[in-house]
Amino acid sequence: MAAQTLDQIVSLCKRRGFIFPGSEIYGGLQGTFDYGPLGVELKNNLKRLWWQHNVYDRDDMEGLDSAILMNRWVWYYSGHEDTFVDPLVDCKLCKGRFRADKLQEASCLKHPKLHPGECEGELTEPRPFNMMFKTQVGPVPDPESFAYLRPETAQGIFINFKNVLDSTGRKLPFGVAQIGKAFRNEVTPRNFVFRTREFEQMEIEYFCRPGEDEAIHEAFIKDHLEWWIKVCGLSPDRLSLYEVPPHELAHYSKRTVDIMYRYPIGTEELEGIANRTDFDLGSHTRDQDKLQITAKVKKNEHSTERLTYFDQASNRHIVPYVIEPSAGVDRGVLAILCEAYDEERLDNGETRVVLRLKPALAPIKVAVLPLKKNEPQIVETAKRIKRMLQEAGEFRTVYDDTAGIGKLYRRQDEIGTPFCVTVDFDTIGRAEDNGLKDTVTVRDRDTMKQERVPIKELYNYIRERIMPKKG
């Protein structure tokens, strides 16, 4: 069914501990969120699956974890110092400040149901606003000693191109993947974790020869769209591709295609996949004049390194082209939660909330529940099973006896736990001799069907159903 409103997700996230508003006890800090006990598991699972698919399952990828703080010249030559700006308008009446190109996303401060410009307030002319956060580096407050918090992870990859190439001996084409925090001083952070000031990105910079770029770009679009469907469980009906029209393209981009997801707030960008030509390496390299850079770049007077690749076939140094798939971790988490959310009407007239997460993404894979918590043998057996499953190390298993069994099932449904294992009187051989000793019931989250499984087969039973099948 999927979530109908963002409020359903916001309230589930707070109630069950997926995501909390940032700095809540001090009144909050706009555009920041804290991932709670379940949110951190879900987010880690998403990042792990992405890394698995994009680094481990391929033969042409390396990983990187570069610093958030970088020399300020990085942002000068990347173009962010002068082009990473949004047009801002102020409302003369309500004193609100809004992004001129996103007025439809914003609300008037006086009439929250109206968008700015549609109310009686007059807007000022748009003026540029740089979205990078500045911070001071070192103990002396000197106007020259500042750094930016990176607004994207990508630049850390470009400036390490030569290091990665020299240390790995890679041949073109190859890519570098990175997952990490990015910061943007968004004018109107909104829609929960969709647009925040601190967020995470999963990015690839894939280096190739000019001429190969178009086919590689196309292959990434297809592969990543399929990944969101197959691995993350997003419905193909709610996903679409947006071919960014020429007049909206960033100046360096030859072509950009966005993977869009239909959130309850509307269809919005989940991942952007851009062909950035030789702009990035061309911008950060020295000896620009000696290289045939096709993109329009600033004259670089500070770089100490040639960011080129020696192409044996043509016997010359080339500046590789770059294909960049860039996805938001938080927008991924939000899409996954919206997609998985379901309210199901039960035969007894009650409604159960269930998160139909792909098992590989579920924060908790198995909950082991004792039917009675004042029966020492049942409790002991349940705890032993919990330890046995957890010690296998692959999936997070919890023991819970804090409520009656019905309530415990409902709680696990709501957080997306695919399997509940219940230890009862049959398990410990206390009921009549019915052949069920040393077996447990395994309840499936989606169908609510229960199966009797011998304890010694339990690990394999669950493992088979949790690990994503390849192909």
Ligand X SMILES: Nc1ncnc2c1ncn2[C@@H]1O[C@H](COP(=O)(O)OP(=O)(O)OP(=O)(O)O)[C@@H](O)[C@H]1O
Give the range of 194-202, 347-355, 368-376, 433-441 binding ligand X by CB under 6 A. Answer: 194-202
The answer to whether residue 199 forms part of the interface with ligand X (CB under 6 A) is yes
Query: What minimum distance in Å lies between the beta carbon of 207 and ligand X?
Result: 19
- Return d(Cα 450, Cα 288) in angstroms, integer: 67
10, 21 Cβ separation under 8 angstroms: no
| Bridge pairing between strands 146-148 and 134-136 | antiparallel
The reply, when asked if residue 197 is annotated as ligand binding, is yes
Report if residue 275 touches ligand X, rule: CB under 6 A. no
Please tell me whether residue 280 binds ligand X under the rule CB under 6 A: no
Tokens of 197: 């000031």
φ, ψ dihedrals at 223, nearest 5°? -65, -45
Q: Say if residue 301 carries a ligand binding annotation.
A: no
- 344 annotated as belonging to a binding site for a ligand: no
> Which x/- pattern over 82-111 shows residues binding ligand X (rule: CB under 6 A)?
------------------------------
Q: Does 386 bind ligand X (CB under 6 A)?
A: no
Alpha helices in 306-451 (DSSP H): 329-340, 376-391, 405-415
Q: Which two tokens stand for residue 12?
A: 């589930």
Residues with Cβ within 8 Å of 425's Cβ and at least 6 positions away in sequence, in order, are 371, 375, 378, 431
Structure-token pair, residue 361: 């993404």
**99 marked among binding-site residues:** yes
- Helix, strand, coil percentages for the chain (3-state, nearest 5): 30, 25, 40
Taking the least distance from each CB to ligand X, the nearer of 16 and 195 is 195
185 is in an annotated binding site: yes
Query: Whole-number minimum distance, CB 336 to ligand X, in Å?
Result: 13
Q: Per the annotation, does 471 bind a ligand? A: no
Q: What is the DSSP letter of 46?
A: H
Please check if 464 is assigned to a binding site.
no
> Out of 195, 358, 365, 445, which residue is the one contacting ligand X (CB under 6 A)?
195
Give the whole-angstrom CA distance, residue 69 versus residue 222: 33
Residue 203 labeled ligand binder = yes
C-alpha–C-alpha distance, residues 157 and 375, integer Å? 57
- Binding positions for ligand X, 215-274, rule CB under 6 A: 269-272
How many chain residues are in contact with ligand X, going by CB under 6 A?
A: 15
| C-beta closer to ligand X: residue 327 or 361 | 327
Report, in Å, the least distance between residue 170 CB and ligand X.
25
41 marked ligand binding residue: no
Q: Closest distance between ligand X and the C-beta of residue 191, in Å?
A: 9
- Tell me the window of 162-170, 192-200, 407-415, 435-443 that interacts with ligand X (CB under 6 A): 192-200
Neighbouring residues of 106: CB distance < 8 A, sequence distance ≥ 6: 96, 98, 99, 115, 116, 188, 190
- Of 41, 90, 186, 205, the one binding ligand X (CB under 6 A) is 186
Binding mask 397-426 for ligand X (x = CB under 6 A): ------------------------------
Nearer to ligand X, 149 or 368 (CB): 149
* One-character DSSP codes across 393-404: -SS-EEE--SS-
3-state secondary structure of 471: coil
Helix (H) or strand (E) segment spanning residue 404: none
Residue 218 marked as a ligand binder: no
Contact between 259 and 277 under an 8 Å Cβ cutoff? The reply is no
Please name the helix (run of DSSP H) or strand (run of DSSP E) that holds residue 18, with its range, or none.
none
What φ, ψ does residue 30 adopt, rounded to 5°?
A: -55, 135
Backbone φ, ψ for residue 73 (5° rounding): -60, -25
Determine contact, residues 338/3, Cβ cutoff 8 Å: yes
Picking from 367, 388, 385, the residue whose alpha carbon sits closest to that of residue 438 is 385
The answer to whether residue 196 forms part of the interface with ligand X (CB under 6 A) is yes
131 marked ligand binding residue: no
Closest contact distance (angstroms) between CB of 415 and ligand X is: 23
310-329 footprint of ligand X as x/- string (CB under 6 A): ----------------xxx-
Ramachandran sector of residue 23 (left: φ over 0; alpha: ψ -120 to 50; beta: rest): left
Q: Which residue is nearest to ligand X (CB)?
A: 328
Nearer to ligand X, 330 or 413 (CB): 330
Task: By CB under 6 A, name the binding residues for ligand X.
Answer: 184, 186, 195-196, 199, 201, 269-272, 326-328, 330-331
Residue numbering of the annotated binding site for substrate: 99, 152, 199-203, 324-328
Residue numbering of the annotated binding site for ATP: 184-186, 194-199, 269-270, 328-331
Residue numbering of the annotated binding site: 99, 152, 184-186, 194-203, 269-270, 324-331
